[in-house]
Amino acid sequence: MSIPSWSVVSTIREPLPLVLAFACHHLRMGAQRVHLFFDDPNDPAAEVMAAIPGVDVTLCDDNHWNALDQEKRPSWQTRRQTLNANIIAQKQNTDWLLHADADEFLWAPDGIEEELAHAETWLHIPNLERVWTAPENGIFDGAFRASGLTIARMGEVYGPAHSYLQNGLSGHTSGKAMARLADRKFIAIHAVKEEFQGKALPGRTKARARILHFDGMTARHWLLKSLRYAIQGKALLQTLHNRRRAGIERVMAARDPLTEGLALHAEIFHLSTKQQNILKAQDALLTCPLDLDHAVATHAPGLAADFSAERFDACLTSALEDVVELIRDQSSKRA
């Protein structure tokens, strides 16, 4: 049996350290190509990434969207992501394709190729969610919690903060999909479908591998991403699960959204020793080491990687200040 080839596709708008780690990690895991669609066509990271062997870069400018019969850039992030993923799928330059966000890292210590060789129509990869067990020093620090906790168990672990979690996670619990391109089906956000807006294709195979979801590389990064949903209107906010939306609405209603948002992040993601022990007893807290420094040194040897939280937050300061100020203005007008 021949070894199946696989590639990764992502639509991104993130600081360079994260994009660099994402691409180099998957190349080190054996990805044939890493396809990056830059949501901001003026992103300076695009030129840097285009110079890395194995990385393909596409700028999502007006010409890009026009070529896809879009009169303008689609307002929905999920629509942009699926359009881009299916461009790569249609080319069929690899056997399998993983569609992931830039903050999602495939974790398969024994490799993914054997699982692909025995998969049926598509491979469903469950996700874990990063939590902090110590202060935020590095953007990839921490451990990973699994979904599946009952409401009663979540209440025991998190107290009142459990009301912001769904099945024990703050973000999605749906995992991600690897599509067998020979099937020529539609790649959605969390599944492979017969067609756009259709039902998930049956015959999925659940993977032993996992997607490590860094739902916010720092507290400020998580807050910025969360508040961006809010300022784009109620329709986009409604795409989030009810518990995630409740947390964002709490921050939006606060007199000081920045302080409130950071406090909420600590409640949800920073675990006490007691919380860690309870989750470990449920096999719901795991350690999944990633050697990202080595991955970057191997695939982008001319680039220095700074994965410190302090440096990462410095890239976000202006954008976060702008979003918080916009929310304050909206609140004052409503008052």
Q: Which residues pair with 204 in a beta bridge?
A: 122
Whether residue 150 sits in one domain with residue 119:
no
- Within-domain flag for 131: no
Report angle CA 178, 182, 183 to the nearest 5 degrees: 75
Q: What share of the chain in percent tops pLDDT 70?
A: 96
Residue 74 sits in a domain whose CATH number is 3.90.550.10
Residue 102's alpha-carbon distances to 38, 134, 177, 216, in angstroms, are 11, 23, 15, 11
Higher pLDDT, 165 or 2: 165
Whether residue 92 sits in one domain with residue 45:
yes
pLDDT at position 272 is 96
Sorting pLDDT into bands at 50, 70 and 90, what band is 194? Answer: confident
- Within-domain flag for 296: no
pLDDT at position 91 is 94
Whether residue 332 sits in one domain with residue 200:
no
Whether residue 179 sits in one domain with residue 42:
yes
Residue span of the structural domain in which 182 resides: 1-126+175-217
Secondary structure of residue 131 in the 3-state scheme: strand
CA distance 209 to 108: 5
Average pLDDT over residues 65-92: 93
Whether residue 166 sits in one domain with residue 155:
yes
Smallest Cα–Cα separation from 171: which of 140, 128, 206? 128
Average pLDDT over residues 294-307: 94
Whether residue 147 sits in one domain with residue 26:
no
Q: Tell me, what DSSP letter sits at residue 52?
A: S
**What type of residue is 268?**
I
- pLDDT tens-digit readout, 137-174: 999 999 999 998 888 888 899 999 999 999 999 998 89
Burial level of 12, CB count in 10 A (0-12/13-18/19+)? buried
Is the confidence at residue 236, as pLDDT, over 60?
A: no
Is the confidence at residue 333, as pLDDT, over 70?
A: no
Whether residue 319 sits in one domain with residue 285:
yes
Number of domains present in the structure of the chain:
2
- Within-domain flag for 52: yes
Whether residue 201 sits in one domain with residue 114:
yes
Q: What share of the chain in percent tops pLDDT 90?
A: 71
